[in-house]
Amino acid sequence: MATINRNLSEYDKNTIPNAKGLRFGIVVSEWNETITSGLHQGAVEALLENGVNNDDIVTWHVPGSFELVYGSKKMLQTQNVDAVIAIGSVIQGETKHFDFVCEAVSQGIKDLNVQTDVPVIFCVLTDNTMQQAIDRSGGKHGNKGTEGAVAAIKMAYLRKK
């Protein structure tokens, strides 16, 4: 597992470009809201810690993780952002729904990265249990939202080069 012996919230600030003047979009799933709100909080805090002005963070909410792709696409088309962070949480259940949603969202976000010039960061937890999601959204493994924001800053900086 990727989080073994690793805290998702830890990063070396010296390796992150200053993000002042960059604009970020965050599209957040309302499904599993206790998880996605924690991820969103981690992302916003990391962006602010690295020089982003609060006014340069645009947050939209969509009903579920499946809708992150469309929400991210509309964000790219209308908000003049330097990167988008797609935040969601899908937890394994008793049916194949989990597999279909995870596959569609990952492929959709990949497609946006191939089709557009603005990076879209995959910050979707795909956990087997609610406890795993809690552990990765501000719990014992840190916050994947922080990691998503760091990736967004680095990719936005790469885009500007």
d(CA 65, CA 71) in angstroms, rounded, equals: 10
What is the DSSP-derived secondary structure letter of residue 49?
Answer: H
The answer to whether residue 61 is catalytic is no
Give Dmax (Cα) for the chain. Answer: 46
What is the DSSP-derived secondary structure letter of residue 12?
Answer: -
Between β-strands 137-139 and 120-127, what pairing exists: parallel, antiparallel or unpaired? unpaired
Active-site annotation holder among 40, 61, 97, 141: 97
Which has the closest alpha carbon to 72: 35, 105, 39, 48?
Answer: 105
Task: Enumerate the active-site residues.
Answer: 97
